[in-house]
Structure 1
Amino acid sequence: MQIKVAIVDDDKDMRTSLATLIRRTGSLQLLGEYSNGEIAMEEIPRQPPDVVLMDINMPGMGGIECVRRLKAIIPAVQVLMLTVYEDSDSLFNSLKAGASGYLLKRTSSSKLLEAVRDVHAGGSPMSPQLARRLVQFFSKPQDVSPVSQLSPGEREFLQLLSKGYVYKEIAEKMGISTDTVRYYVRTVYEKLHVHSRTEAVVKFLNG
């Protein structure tokens, strides 16, 4: 059973090269090649392929928008993005739009054919460079809440402040001087990025 493929790329040489490669591969069948997203959106739904090789940067409708629209009409189609650039934003936006794989255009012919078969089988082929970017992105520590940066003393201070105690009462309850309470005020305001007692309490209670 041949895998039906369509190509969407505004670069004529790239389109021709991909078309020739697919025609020479017995397990693949070329259904069409299109020079922009607008033509692809008109033609592809008439004869849906299994896999679309999609350029990202095209004049008019870009590849990411074309993927989004195609997936809305033909949910089963698998889209393999092809790009010249190792661009993290384009990678993430393509995947969010519904693309299943993402390769650099300089990928070898054998790797490209392997990726077409892989994406058709349910895989998510990706260039090693881009896979590393994806891993690095999800390996980054997530944003930490400013409240979690507070010391135990600062937390106790805010707890008492939220109950309506004035600074002198807080000093007595915590067994510290009023100067230390004022120090807590400065550090808490700085850590929570607030400018008033009310702001500090609200941010603390909302965690």
Structure 2
Amino acid sequence: MKVIIFEDNFLVQQSLCEVLQSDEQIKVCGTYENAKGIDRIYAEHSPDLVIMDIDMPEVNGLAGLSLLKQKNPDARVLMFTVFEENDKVLNAICLGANGYILKSSSGDKIIESVKDVINGGSPLTPAIASKILKHFPKNNVSSKDELLMLTSKEKEVLELLVKGYSYKKIAVELFKSVETIRTQIKTIYRKLNVKSNAEAIIKALARSE
């Protein structure tokens, strides 16, 4: 699993590298102090995941994310942030980030989140999803007809996504393989007309609005 890191604090950058490379499945291909030239860097490494700090000098994480997603909409990006309740986190998710992880998280949590995003997941707490919901026009999110198309098993999976469960935790909870859960979530995406867990969670939360 190839990862590139954008983080301006050298000590944090090196600490994150050490955490990630303690897992033999993860390789850090490059570290950068800001998002300048992110298109070229992404093309050079073709990473499975980009980990990006939000507040960086010159070209910050939000600007870098926007530039990257314009040319590489399928790029997987995990925001690396100090504060969860920051409007910048909301902006990042709205710009297409696949999730976020707090800098205070344990090494195991960081590795779990990295693998989760690479495997199609989206670390996104219900609290943040609820805040994001308020920023979206109602006609973009509240589609009860789409939700009615889900089977009872698919609704069960979606409910666990809303609770913030990773693919692995959903599989354990429902006594299924991770691959089965991944297949079900792809079907949920298609039925809800979304491209990420974040969007699926938002639509699920909109149901009760």
TM-score normalized by the length of structure 2: 0.60
Alpha carbon RMSD of aligned pairs, Å? Answer: 2.2
Q: Can you list the C-alpha shifts for 1:26-73, whole angstroms capped at 9, x where unaligned? A: 111111111111154442221220101100001111101101111222
Q: Which segments of structure 1 move beyond 6 Å, counting only runs of 4 or more?
A: none
CA distance in 2 between partners of 1:40 and 1:13 (Å): 21
Partner of 2:130: 135
Partner of 2:27: 29
CA contact (8 A) 1:48 1:77 kept: no
Q: Can you list the C-alpha shifts for 1:126-157, whole angstroms capped at 9, x where unaligned? A: 3x5xx3243256489x99xxxxxxxxxxxxxx
Out of 81, 95, 101, the position equivalent to 2:99 is 101
Partner of 1:162: none
Partner of 2:85: 87
Residues 1:72 and 2:47 aligned together:
no
TM-score normalized by the length of structure 1: 0.60
Residues 1:57 and 2:55 aligned together:
yes
Partner of 2:144: none
How far did residue 17 of structure 1 move?
0.6
Query: 2:51 is matched by which residue type in structure 1?
Result: L
How far did residue 86 of structure 1 move?
2.5
How far did residue 76 of structure 1 move?
2.4
Q: Can you list the C-alpha shifts for 1:61-106, whole angstroms capped at 9, x where unaligned? A: 1101101111222222200001112234112210111100112110
CA distance in 2 between partners of 1:137 and 1:54 (Å): 20
Partner of 1:173: none
Query: 1:23 is matched by which residue type in structure 2?
Result: Q
Query: 1:78 is matched by which residue type in structure 2?
Result: R
Q: What secondary structure sits across from 1:16 in the alignment?
A: helix
Unaligned runs of 5+ in 2: 139-209
CA distance in 2 between partners of 1:88 and 1:15 (Å): 21
Partner of 1:198: none
Q: Structure 1 pair 34/137, CA: closer, same or farther in 2 (3 Å)?
A: closer
Partner of 2:149: none
Residues 1:43 and 2:38 aligned together:
no
- Indicate the structure whose relative CO is greater, using CA pairs within 8 Å and at least 6 residues apart: 2
Q: Greater CA deviation, 37-46 or 10-19?
A: 37-46
CA distance in 1 between partners of 2:43 and 2:122 (Å): 23
CA distance in 1 between partners of 2:59 and 2:97 (Å): 16
Alignment of 1:99-178 (within 5 A): 99-126=97-124, 128=125, 131-135=126-130, 138=133
State the identity %. 33
CA distance in 2 between partners of 1:55 and 1:84 (Å): 9
